[in-house]
Chain A
Amino acid sequence: MHTDASNATLREVPVELIDRNPDNPRLFFRPQELETLQNSIADLGIQVPINVFRRQGRFILIDGERRWKCAVKLNLKTIPALVQDEPTRLTNVLLMFNIHALREQWDLLTIAVKLPEVLTLLEVELGHRPTEAEIVRKTGLNRSMIRRCKLLIELPTMYRELLLDELKKPRSQQKLTEDFFIEMEKALRTVERTMPKAIPDKNAARDVLIAKYRNEVIKDLLDLRYLPKIAKAEQVNFDTKAAAASLKRVFSMNAYSLEQAFEETVAAAYTEKDLYSRITQVITRLDDIEANELEQNVLTALKELRSRISQILREI
């Protein structure tokens, strides 16, 4: 990305001659954010100029859409602006990402929707499909964000539209979030990979999970993480047929929760696996310790552990 802001001039630009940047992927401005900024501007004026470029007698926003909206609302006639030369299309889009995505809390879908276009423009400029490292460097987004965006981009259109409709609602009325879809997609991918027969129809599975989340059968987003654990039953030596049957029940319209499915199937096996891992760690640590170096409280805990272990072993 190359921009030359050194030619920019500071001037008062008529508010009515300014248009929003069509490449700004931001879809929503939260009313509370605007209200707070508006009050500040009403009291103190606009302290930091906005950035615009000139096009056909009008000015296109690069940075400062919220300030501009507040200026319109407050009926200000002009607004201080740094006016610079029109950037190339790719530069304009990348400017939006670098200025906004890093500084403000954008909705992830906002970025996701715009990302394919950025990738296409980058491919033309670079002459090859951009690597993840190149995307990170050019857009200013981190790898985790890009991966999360990709999960949203790859959603079937109907689910992207569903999410978009949800994001249009006031925050208090939003139920389905980007995080829900990301967690759901991650979970379904693992299930699909490890136990493909459990999901004969992925969209049907999505519909069931969405309905269960809306109806609060799934109470917590993190409950979706039970799905991969059930699907990976084989790794904890649990009966895969029983796990598959449980998943089949999960992906049917009913009140069967993910937590219930987990508890009834692999929960005990995972607990045992966890216990085994901890015991192994303790044994490794004990190998490195001299008995006379131990503090009294550690010795007391060890004696308690020995007593419990003896009790368990006697019961076998």
Chain B
Amino acid sequence: MAGGYRVLSQPLWPTADAVQQFLKKNHGITSIKVEEEIHKDVPRPTLQGRATDNTIICVDVHEDACYTPSTELFIAKCKSIQLPVRLYTAHVQGAESPDFPRQLRQARLNCVGVLSVNTDGITTILSETLPQTLADVRRLDLSRFPSKYRDRLSIAQQTYLQGDPVKGCAGIHEVMEDITREVARKLYKKGRIAAWTTNPPNLDKDPWYNIAKAIYNEPTFQQFFPNTQPAIWAELIAQTKPRNEASHPPPTPAKRAERDKKLRTRFEQAGDTLAEVVEVIKNAKI
């Protein structure tokens, strides 16, 4: 085994060794650093390695805990300098402190992964980790949305929190697009759709942007959406752009941090815009 632990208590060395195997097997990390610096302002994790998605996977090994004040300090530092770190804590299975369930809730809330390692070195994931650059995202208030959309939005949020922010954002955009098409169909039935285009529109397949833009440009917009600021619909139109952006893996951790910041903002903005649009539709006269 690699060893080289200076800080970690000796009884926890086998646990850390087992986690190294886990990182190799589950994350394909071959070069694992032990108790080394990741950034001058951040405490050193027990283990770290760069994942293929250019996040830095860190593991802090504990005996009986999965979320401690030092975990909190670590993630606060990572967030403050926007380090794309995915943090796991690992502990010895069977040694959990009485406070462990509360700690596990805290870990999940803060997107810290939790690994439980038994005496045979078998590692079980109790909670998945998310890059701290994405973790601070404001959660969707599902009560703001009609019940028929809540399940899809909940899945979108889960997808984001499970480490796929692009798909998570796309989940919200899909709901937004469906609402747009639904509005368009209703307007079409009222004979308004003919004014939008010279050709008969395909409301199921035409680009989302075209349909949203047509609703925005409708001369009788205020008739159908009384007391609505056109800016709200403009925000929806603005959301159609990121939806169509291709998602390429960022080439460096710095680019990754930059992209994560954008995705976090995008997720929050998409949620806010959708809530406003839902409010508009509720009061629409169509």
List residues of chain A with CB under 8 Å of any chain B CB: 20, 27-32, 34-35, 38-39, 42, 69-70, 72-75, 167-173
- Which applies to chain A's interface (DSSP): helix, strand, loop or mixed? helix
**Would B94 and A69 count as touching, CB distance under 8 A?**
no
**Would B63 and A32 count as touching, CB distance under 8 A?**
yes
**Would A31 and B62 count as touching, CB distance under 8 A?**
yes
**Would B44 and A28 count as touching, CB distance under 8 A?**
no
A74→B45 CA distance, assembly (Å): 9
A35→B73 CA distance, assembly (Å): 12
Chain A residue numbers with a CB within 8 Å of B63 are 30-32, 170-172
A28→B10 CA distance, assembly (Å): 6
Chain B residue numbers with a CB within 8 Å of A75 are 37, 40-44
CB<8 Å pairs between A and B, sample of 24: A27-B10, A29-B9, A29-B10, A30-B9, A31-B9, A31-B62, A31-B63, A31-B64, A32-B63, A39-B73, A42-B43, A42-B70, A42-B73, A72-B7, A72-B35, A72-B44, A74-B43, A75-B37, A75-B40, A167-B11, A168-B10, A170-B11, A170-B95, A172-B94
Given known pairs A42-B73, A173-B95, the reply for A34 and B43 (CB within 8 Å) is no
List residues of chain B with CB under 8 Å of any chain A CB: 6-7, 9-12, 35, 37, 40-44, 62-65, 68-70, 73, 92, 94-95, 119
A194→B171 CA distance, assembly (Å): 81
Q: How far is the CB of B93 from chain A (nearest CB, A)?
A: 10
- Which applies to chain B's interface (DSSP): helix, strand, loop or mixed? loop
**Would B94 and A34 count as touching, CB distance under 8 A?**
no
Query: 12 additional contacts, CB 8 Å, given A32-B63, A73-B35, A75-B44?
Result: A28-B9, A31-B62, A35-B65, A35-B70, A39-B70, A72-B7, A72-B44, A75-B37, A75-B41, A75-B42, A169-B11, A170-B64
Q: Which residue of A lies closest to B46 (CB)?
A: A73
Contact of B68 among A27, A35, A69 (CB under 8 A): A35
A35→B66 CA distance, assembly (Å): 12
Question: Number of residue pairs across A and B with beta carbons under 8 Å?
Answer: 72
Q: Which of A74, A75, A169 has the most CB atoms of chain B within a 10 A radius of its CB?
A: A75
Q: Which residue of B lies closest to A36 (CB)?
A: B69
Q: Which of B41, B68, B94 has the most CB atoms of chain A within a 10 A radius of its CB?
A: B68
Chain A residue numbers with a CB within 8 Å of B95 are 170-173
Q: Which residue of A lies closest to B40 (CB)?
A: A75
Contact of A168 among B7, B11, B41, B44 (CB under 8 A): B11
**Would A39 and B11 count as touching, CB distance under 8 A?**
no
Q: How far is the CB of A68 from chain B (nearest CB, A)?
A: 9
